[in-house]
Structure 1
Amino acid sequence: MEDFWKDIYTYATSWVKEAGEMIKDSFSKELLIETKSNPNDLVTNMDKDVETFLYEKIQETFPTHRIVGEEGHGTDVTSAEGILWVIDPIDGTMNFVHQQRNFAISIGIFDQGVGKIGLIYDVMHDELYHTIRGNGAYMNDIKLPMLTESPVKEAILSLNATWVTDNHRIDPAVLSPLVKDVRGTRSYGSAALELAYIAAGRLDGYITMRLAPWDFAGGLVLIEEVGGVVTNVYGEELNILEKNSVFAGEKAFHKEVLQTYINKKR
């Protein structure tokens, strides 16, 4: 079984790197931009092309595997049975459009709902965060250490300012004290990168009130491999096929935030 997952991992990393070259090459061509659910929910022809490229490679090589992708592939998947690839071809499309940086390709591969392989590729920095469960997590060839304890007062938290003022999902009185108490806050505009940064120890936590499976699938596997935790904002297990709130972080930080800030206000 070990060789089985190594083979899948080898194919997946090769395809992700190839997809990254496709994206880089696109910068010299015309970019077609559309909107989805709202004017700020962007999708480009490259999002669609990269997902199609990955979908076709997976179907050709592993025809029994199932696929869920942001741009429409796998809409008929209703359970996490078997081997499931969860793909975001370009996470951080707004950054891709406006900055041509700070975006990533994200893939999480699951077996019966358990994360086995996590890949997040920061294309423009050529940083591939990757893991096969039980074999350690890496950034390129550098092994990532297990996360060390980080109390709230010493933590860097990734959080979009929108969630601090949006009382439709969580009372602002919950997050405002947390924002004041942490050492600092950041927002990168790509959930995949923010999760990768937690795995690499660059961030201690990440909170968002709405995230799709393809946004968090790859990061979930990476973070768990280095001893971190990924749940919804109430500490409950995520559903890999549904949109969730997401709270990811180092274990001690995660526990302190739940006990001191979130669950006290429920």
Structure 2
Amino acid sequence: MNIDLFDSLMAEVKDCGSFAKETQKNIRRDFKSDNSVVTATDIAIAERLIAKIQSLFPDCNIINEEIQGAAFDERAPYTFIFDPIDGTDSYSQGLPSWCIGVGILDREREAAGSIVYAPRFGNSCDELFMWTAPESDTVYLNGTEFSIDPDIMRQKDMPKQITTGSDLLTQIDMQPIIRQLKESSVDFKFRAFGSSLIHIVSALVFCGIDACIDPSCYVWDIAPAHALVKKCGLDYQYCTGQEFRYDDSLLLQRKKFPEPLIVGTKKGRDFLISRIRG
């Protein structure tokens, strides 16, 4: 991928984030047919990003939450999957835990690139801007090359602090997990911010957060962070132990993925999966 084109897309994401930040205090929340929250800012950013991606990458697929586009082309070199605002409920209430996310899959449906921009949710600063370009192994956080310290990576092999969404309680029986953790005397905590993408990248950028259990949701809630996760040495896996794949159900039929996802190191995922499965 031409890096200048990718840079132009990143600049548009940053501009959209500034726009969302400026309009947040005056936003009015509405509801879609499934009772999820939507705002005028979601729609405005979706339209802007579709137009930008189409102008920069006219031969690529686009999948997003708010606006359905053209038919999926299996021959396209890349598929762009974005959420104009992940954490719309938080955004509509004036909270800082929301972001714009753009994920890029290659022709083999492998996570290749990521842009996650949270204008009000920083890591020792005012914002969190994390990205990695296709055909590159480098991850950047707020303009600086990013990697996870080896000692912190080893800490993630036995997760103690985990981000998750509020829907998890309706999708997983937590009693076996709680019982086993009590028996092993693990000081265990859940953190919830209201944005799937922020939950995922928090397991990368905050040293005290070791993993994420992401409740079943949609491809645009997870794809924008996937390349960041993989290039930092973590990955996605279903809580059943099954391998995660971008299949037709997620991409073409726009269905939720069937089970909660575990995001973490291989040992960390095995640790959590063993306790979820009892």
The 10-residue stretch of structure 1 (244-253 or 215-224) with the greater mean CA deviation from structure 2:
244-253
Is the Cα contact below 8 Å between 2:139 and 2:146 reproduced in 1? yes
Q: Which residue of 2 aligns with 1:233?
A: 239
Residue 149 (str. 1) matches residue 154 (str. 2):
yes
Q: Which residue of 2 aligns with 1:255?
A: 270
Q: Deviations over 1:187-237 (max 9, x none)?
A: 111011111111224421111331211110111111101000112222322
Q: Deviations over 1:19-52 (max 9, x none)?
A: 11211232364x242212444x100000000010
Shift of 1:78: 7.5
Residue 27 (str. 1) matches residue 24 (str. 2):
yes
Identify which of 117, 140, 145 aligns with 1:121. Answer: 117
Is the Cα contact below 8 Å between 2:82 and 2:103 reproduced in 1? yes
Q: Residues of 2 paired with 1:81 and 1:115: CA distance?
A: 14
Shift of 1:7: 2.8
Q: Residues of 1 paired with 2:190 and 2:245: CA distance?
A: 24
Q: Which residue of 2 aligns with 1:140?
A: 142
- State the TM-score, normalizing by the size of structure 2: 0.82
Q: Which residue of 1 aligns with 2:132?
A: 131
* % same residue: 21
Aligned-partner residue type, residue 88 of structure 1: D
Aligned-partner residue type, residue 138 of structure 1: Y
Is the Cα contact below 8 Å between 1:153 and 1:183 reproduced in 2? no
In structure 1, runs of 5+ residues without a counterpart are none
Shift of 1:141: 2.2
Is the Cα contact below 8 Å between 1:150 and 1:250 reproduced in 2? no
Q: Which residue of 2 aligns with 1:243?
A: 256
Is the Cα contact below 8 Å between 2:61 and 2:73 reproduced in 1? no
Aligned-partner residue type, residue 83 of structure 1: Y
Where do 1:204-223 residues align within 5 Å? Answer: 204-223=210-229
Is the Cα contact below 8 Å between 2:5 and 2:56 reproduced in 1? no
C-alpha change, 1:57 and 1:178, in structure 2 (3 Å) is farther
Is the Cα contact below 8 Å between 1:118 and 1:132 reproduced in 2? yes
Q: Residues of 2 paired with 1:185 and 1:20: CA distance?
A: 28
Is the Cα contact below 8 Å between 2:163 and 2:200 reproduced in 1? no
CA root-mean-square deviation: 2.4
Q: Deviations over 1:69-92 (max 9, x none)?
A: 110233743758531100000000
Identify which of 187, 191, 199 aligns with 1:186. Answer: 191
Aligned-partner residue type, residue 96 of structure 2: R
Shift of 1:246: 1.7
Q: Residues of 2 paired with 1:129 and 1:87: CA distance?
A: 14
Q: Which residue of 2 aligns with 1:44?
A: 39
C-alpha change, 1:174 and 1:222, in structure 2 (3 Å) is farther
Shift of 1:159: 2.3
Aligned-partner residue type, residue 132 of structure 1: A
Aligned-partner residue type, residue 21 of structure 1: S
In structure 2, runs of 5+ residues without a counterpart are 121-125
C-alpha change, 1:69 and 1:54, in structure 2 (3 Å) is same
C-alpha change, 1:99 and 1:82, in structure 2 (3 Å) is same
The 10-residue stretch of structure 1 (75-84 or 98-107) with the greater mean CA deviation from structure 2:
75-84
Q: Secondary structure at the match of 1:149?
A: helix
The 10-residue stretch of structure 1 (74-83 or 47-56) with the greater mean CA deviation from structure 2:
74-83
Q: Residues of 1 paired with 2:76 and 2:44: CA distance?
A: 27
Q: Residues of 1 paired with 2:188 and 2:174: CA distance?
A: 19
C-alpha change, 1:80 and 1:199, in structure 2 (3 Å) is farther
Shift of 1:160: 3.3
